[in-house]
């Protein structure tokens, strides 16, 4: 979904393997979702909506 919607804007996508169930999404250094902070996995489209809001604000 992210790649489909923002394919013209994404210049780099980095996946960093980790352990312990950590799932975090950053956009240009801004944390938009953290499973570690929320204690749960993201709901469907939750990360996408957070990225939309960040992009719209910039």
Bridge partners (DSSP) of residue 21 are none
pLDDT of residue 58: 81
DSSP conformation class of 18 = -
Dmax over CA atoms of the chain, in Å, equals: 33
Tens of pLDDT, residue by residue over 21-46, are 889 999 989 999 999 899 999 998 99
pLDDT of residue 18: 84
CATH of the domain at 53: 3.40.30.10
Range of the domain at 40: 2-57
pTM over 0.85: no
**Average pLDDT along the chain:** 90
* Six token digits for residue 34: 């953290």
Instruction: Name the domain count of the chain.
Output: 1
Whole-number percent of the chain with pLDDT over 90: 45
- Measure CA 29 to chain center: 11
């Amino acid at each position: 979904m992210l790649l489909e919607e923002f394919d013209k804007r994404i210049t780099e996508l980095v996946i960093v393997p980790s352990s312990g169930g950590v799932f975090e999404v950053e956009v240009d250094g801004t944390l938009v979702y953290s499973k570690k902070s929320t204690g749960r996995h993201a709901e469907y489209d939750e990360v996408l909506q957070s990225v939309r809001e960040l992009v719209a604000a910039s």
